[in-house]
Amino acid sequence: MNRRLLSPRLWQRIGVLSALLWALAWSAPVSSEPLPLPPELQKRVNQAIDRGVQVLRGAQGNVGTWALNKNHMTGYAALPGLTLLECGVPASDPAVQRAAALVR
């Protein structure tokens, strides 16, 4: 087998480029906060979230799941329950409490 090896000068360039990329990656500001939306668009987003929460609350069964049959009841309780929490519904809300009780 005849393999061409990289020249030492090319390895040096690769090393310098790698170090530069690492330095840029570590020095870049990282923020988990989303960029703010224009007020009218934020209002529409908040209204959509509120409508989604109402739909989830209305579709939950009495035992705390959103499953239509007995298959995957825990998953159908956990994911919508987490969605409610992510939408700003407090953990003390009855819909969240029913979902949590079923998952536990």
Give CA–CA dist 64/84, Å, rounded: 13
Q: What is the pLDDT of residue 28?
A: 63
What residue segments make up the domains of the chain, in order of their start? 38-104
Residue 93 phi, psi (nearest 5): -65, 140
36, two tokens: 């703010």
Residue 7 phi, psi (nearest 5): -70, 155
Least confident range from 26-30, 34-38, 47-51, 71-75: namely: 26-30
Give the predicted TM-score (pTM) of the model. 0.64
Give residue-wise pLDDT tens across range 71-101: 889 999 999 999 999 999 999 999 999 999 9
Tell me: pLDDT of 22 over 50: yes
